[in-house]
Structure 1
Amino acid sequence: MPDHRQRVWHSGRVGVDPVERLLALQQYRHNGARVPHKPLLVLLALQKLATTGSSDLAWSEAEDRLAGLIAEFGPTTKTSRPQSAAYPFTRLRADGVWALSVDVPDDLVTPLRETDVHGRLDPAIDAALIQDPRRLEGVVRSLVDAQFPSTIAPDVLLAVGFDPELLAPGLAAVTPEERKRSVAWRDAIVRAWDGACAFCGYDGSLGGAPVGIEAAHVRWFKVGGPDELDNGLALCSLHHKLFDRGALGLSPDARVQVSEHFRASGVGKQVYDLHGRELRPRPGAQLPAPVHVEWHRTQVFRGDPLAA
Structure 2
Amino acid sequence: MAEFLNTYLNAFSKLKRATKNGIKAPHKPILLLAIIKSIELGEIKNNKIYITPELVARFKDYWKWLVRESFFSPNFSLPFFHLTNDYTRNRLDRFWHLQTYFGKEILLTSSHSIRSFSQLQESVQYGYFDDRLFSLLSNHDSRQIVSRFLLEHYFSGQKLYDNRSDLFESVTKQILHDSPVEYLHVIERADEEEVFIRSGVFKKVVPRIYDYTCCISGLRIVSGYDIQMVDACHIIPFANSHNDTISNGISLCPNLHRAFDRGLVSIDCYYRVLVAENFVESSHENGIKAYQGKRIILPDEESYRPAVENLDWHRVNIFKSKAQH
**Do both share a fold (TM > 0.5)?**
no
Q: Choose between structure 1 and 2 for higher RCO, CA contacts under 8 A separated by at least 6 residues.
A: 1
TM-score by length of 1: 0.40
Please say which structure displays the higher CA radius of gyration: 2
